[in-house]
Structure 1
């Protein structure tokens, strides 16, 4: 080992003491905590940055979804409407309930078309033939009965009858209870009916005629009754044809006019013809139904002659 003089040893000892003092002056625990805080701060920055990136990624679809839902809420989409159609076979009467709980009697040979869900603003149905309506009152949603000729009837809640057969020359509206408004095909003429009134619309002349009538005579068909008050043979045979599902051909060879007052409920067609023949020279013959080439059958046909 190299010999060192006292002076050299003293300098080394002094240098070693200075190094120890410098080491002792370092706050190791504080430095450790400071390093930990820096690491946590850096980690928070990284997490915040990551969250912001995810938030930006998620916010766009969320914003789009919110906008779509808001639009749908304030602008309801117009969905395709679904309709139901009910037809009463000739010679029958159908009784059923509409979606708004209004009740309808549909006469033979008639068809009613209506949406399976009524609009919030109105209730529209289309009638071909004859029907009696008991409409549930709803003052915010008028109930419209539309006919092929363009004539419409609208109410808010009442009882009335509409006869709009396509082979009839007239469309007839009769009010039993409440109030109805009849809109002519020109859409500018509106006539209001009161209970006991009838409105006839002539399809050819376009004229509207309002009369007082016996309402029960006009609506008794829904109970299976045939009521005639001062009715002509033409009118009687037309109604009998629908009621019994037969084809009645009436030939007035005498040119005379007869008016009848009668009520029938369970009588057969021959019995009714016998009754009519008591006051007029009527003779008739029956042609049975015939099978056609397409396997369908013709209606039974009754030819009535007035002499």
Structure 2
């Protein structure tokens, strides 16, 4: 018996042990022939394994439809008196049922850090991620290369040309890559989302900005929330951008306001700056992980004149 024109319905009947003798013989002959499609057979077998006793998590819609309509047509032929309305009603029931299956929420993976905490994780595709303090990363289990970030993270993305890697943030920014190393910073407390590229190439965009900016190594692109624009600049030394991965508190030509915000996020303190000129003054510094907020502020006092103190509520005032 020549195994030609094997249908999905016949394979389904075979794997579900409901096939007649002739169908079984056709499937067996097909499995021993050069035309056997193992991937197709395995896919239907797995689908039956999921639907045989329980509701399928990811049903094969085409297989289910073919099996369903075959059964309907069979009943119509055997019972010509069956009203067409019943068939149409059955079709409606099928698609209503399938809609519930496909609306079933997918599992979301969420990783979060608290103040002063960093985490390192590896995605199923081998991509490595370092998550900075006070940050959160989430993705659907079925789509681990499409992530949502709140806070800051560094990525070493595994190259996959057929499946681009995307990081989105709550303010609507998006970074798309194939394989590269880059840092994304997007805290809700800051007025910008920033991407710094170390290796490879990425494209940064925003839902409210028409242009997409292609980045090369040492590029920094910021989405300014107030101005609603994307600004690109160059950073000659990117070491300070990812120093946080080692717990180091490092900054280069940053305003005191930005430094105070980073201290607040990483050390769980609240800083109020009452001197507007100081707030916009710029500093460069390097501090080991063991340095306290007091150590850092005292060191900055060596270059700028200001006073600070901590009140009983744990709020630091700088003036």
Task: Summarize the Cα distance change of 1:189–1:175 in structure 2 as closer, same or farther, 3 Å threshold.
Answer: same
Q: CA deviation at 1:258?
A: 2.6
Match of 1:212 in 2: 234
Would the aligned equivalents of 2:134 and 2:266 in 1 still touch at CA under 8 Å? no
**TM alignment of 1:1-307, pairs within 5 A:** 71-72=62-63, 78=102, 80-118=105-143, 123-186=145-208, 188-213=210-235, 214-252=237-275, 257-265=280-288, 266-289=290-313, 300-305=314-319
Would the aligned equivalents of 2:209 and 2:230 in 1 still touch at CA under 8 Å? no
Using the alignment, how far apart are the partners of 2:167 and 2:230 within structure 1? 17
Q: CA deviation at 1:147?
A: 0.8
Would the aligned equivalents of 1:99 and 1:116 in 2 still touch at CA under 8 Å? no
Structure exhibiting the larger radius of gyration computed from Cα positions: 1
Task: Summarize the Cα distance change of 1:256–1:115 in structure 2 as closer, same or farther, 3 Å threshold.
Answer: closer
TM-score, normalised relative to structure 2: 0.66
Task: Summarize the Cα distance change of 1:74–1:160 in structure 2 as closer, same or farther, 3 Å threshold.
Answer: farther
Task: Summarize the Cα distance change of 1:179–1:272 in structure 2 as closer, same or farther, 3 Å threshold.
Answer: same
Using the alignment, how far apart are the partners of 1:80 and 1:203 within structure 2? 32
Task: Summarize the Cα distance change of 1:73–1:134 in structure 2 as closer, same or farther, 3 Å threshold.
Answer: farther
Task: Summarize the Cα distance change of 1:220–1:254 in structure 2 as closer, same or farther, 3 Å threshold.
Answer: closer
Using the alignment, how far apart are the partners of 1:205 and 1:254 within structure 2? 22
Task: Summarize the Cα distance change of 1:251–1:72 in structure 2 as closer, same or farther, 3 Å threshold.
Answer: farther
Match of 1:54 in 2: none
Would the aligned equivalents of 2:153 and 2:183 in 1 still touch at CA under 8 Å? yes
Task: Summarize the Cα distance change of 1:191–1:74 in structure 2 as closer, same or farther, 3 Å threshold.
Answer: farther
Would the aligned equivalents of 1:136 and 1:158 in 2 still touch at CA under 8 Å? yes
Using the alignment, how far apart are the partners of 1:124 and 1:256 within structure 2? 37
Q: CA deviation at 1:71?
A: 2.4
Would the aligned equivalents of 1:99 and 1:117 in 2 still touch at CA under 8 Å? no
Q: CA deviation at 1:226?
A: 1.6
Deviations 1:193-251 (A, max 9, x none): 00000001111211111000132111111111122211221111111111211111111
Using the alignment, how far apart are the partners of 1:140 and 1:230 within structure 2? 39
Q: CA deviation at 1:143?
A: 0.6
TM-score, normalised relative to structure 1: 0.68
Match of 1:294 in 2: none
Using the alignment, how far apart are the partners of 1:243 and 1:95 within structure 2? 16
Task: Summarize the Cα distance change of 1:277–1:178 in structure 2 as closer, same or farther, 3 Å threshold.
Answer: same
Q: Secondary structure at the match of 2:299?
A: helix
Using the alignment, how far apart are the partners of 1:139 and 1:82 within structure 2? 25
Gaps of 5+ in 1: 1-56, 290-299
| Matched residue count | 233
